[in-house]
């Protein structure tokens, strides 16, 4: 189920502000079709139930602020959401496990569960586009 439209413009504005705060982020080598890749990165919101826009914003904002090599396995992402939004960390880990698997397939997260340079650049870009 896709996220409700309400509030997504505000979430996109928050991410744009974070991008400005972080400053220039060198664009890494992007897969052949950049727009399709960005769409696949953000499309996880359509298939994952149990996480509202504010939870997604917590995940993407934390990873954008903390940068490449930030721990981004399902348990780490769940802790970011639980700390900011509340919720059961075990349940959030279960919700986020398929997200991590899909993002690993897209080279957003590496095999050690850490954010890649591509993920650092692309996550906020993907979500700003999807939410604007």
User: What's the domain count of the chain?
Assistant: 1
In a domain, 60, yes or no: yes
In a domain, 40, yes or no: yes
In a domain, 27, yes or no: no
pLDDT (tens digit per residue) in 81-108: 999 998 899 999 999 999 999 999 999 9
Residue 95 belongs to domain spanning: 8-22+32-131
In a domain, 122, yes or no: yes
In a domain, 45, yes or no: yes
**CB distance 109 to 115 below 8 Å:** yes
Helix 53-66 vs helix 8-22: crossing angle, to nearest 10: 10
- The pTM assigned to this predicted structure is 0.88
Sorting pLDDT into bands at 50, 70 and 90, what band is 3? low
Secondary structure class of 29 (helix, strand, coil)? coil
In a domain, 63, yes or no: yes
pLDDT (tens digit per residue) in 61-81: 999 999 999 999 999 999 999
């Amino acid at each position: 189920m896709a996220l409700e439209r309400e509030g997504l413009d505000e979430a996109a504005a928050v991410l744009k502000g974070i991008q400005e705060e972080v400053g220039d982020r060198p664009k890494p080598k992007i897969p052949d079709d950049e727009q399709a890749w960005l769409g696949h990165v953000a499309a996880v919101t359509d298939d994952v139930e149990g996480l509202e826009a504010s939870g997604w914003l917590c995940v993407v904002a934390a990873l954008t602020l903390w940068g490449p090599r930030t721990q981004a396995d399902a348990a780490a992402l769940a802790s970011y959401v639980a700390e900011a939004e509340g919720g059961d960390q075990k349940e959030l880990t279960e919700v986020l496990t398929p997200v991590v698997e899909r993002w690993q397939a897209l080279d957003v997260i590496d095999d050690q569960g850490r954010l890649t340079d591509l993920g650092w650049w692309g996550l906020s870009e993907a979500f700003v586009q999807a939410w604007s």
